Amino acid sequence: MAEPGSSRFESLVDQQIRLARERGEFDNLPGMGKPLPGAGRPDDHLWWLRGYLEREGISAEVLLPTSLRLAREIERLPEVVADLPSEQMVRERVRDLNRRIAEYLRAPSGPFVRLRPVDPAEMAAHWRAARRAPATSGGTAAEGAGDTTGDRGADRRFRRRRWWSARRSG
């Protein structure tokens, strides 16, 4: 081995790579001769994180601060509870969400988002109204159209009340 300052200096790592190449250990590797994944895309310093989330099937929403995650959960709650089979399960889901909201409010962090507990009775009423609408739509076409409008109206009333109660509290 030559002196460190000379042009013939080969580090231990370089030597190991050269020897492995001479032994043919780099021949026939998967992906050999193919372009690098992501080549040609704009530089993204979080490429590894996006790739990991995609490979694992994880939503990027888990990376959001708690306040934003809870706000999104409150926003999506009517659609989530619509698929639940019983009012008791709706109330349990709301209680669980309210528990997490209370935990966050005890020691808030991240961006400040106004969060208020969800009224379990109001959510249960919304769930019941959504359940009744499809059951009565088996009548005439006019009755079915009225039920759909009524369902949308109930949904709109729920959103308006939630918006109003959030504005009043501030």
Q: Identify which has the larger pLDDT, 116 or 36.
A: 116
Q: What is the pTM of this model?
A: 0.54
Q: Which residue has the tokens 């193919």?
A: 34
Convert the pLDDT of each residue in 125-159 to its tens digit. Answer: 989 988 887 655 554 444 444 444 444 444 554 55
Q: Which residue has the tokens 């790592």?
A: 13
Band of residue 16 on the pLDDT scale cut at 50, 70, 90: very high
DSSP per position, 110-159: SS--------HHHHHHHHHHHHHHHHHTTS-HHHHHHHHHHHHHHHHHHH
**Low-confidence winner among 74-78, 95-99, 166-170 (lowest mean pLDDT):** 166-170
pLDDT at 43 over 60: yes
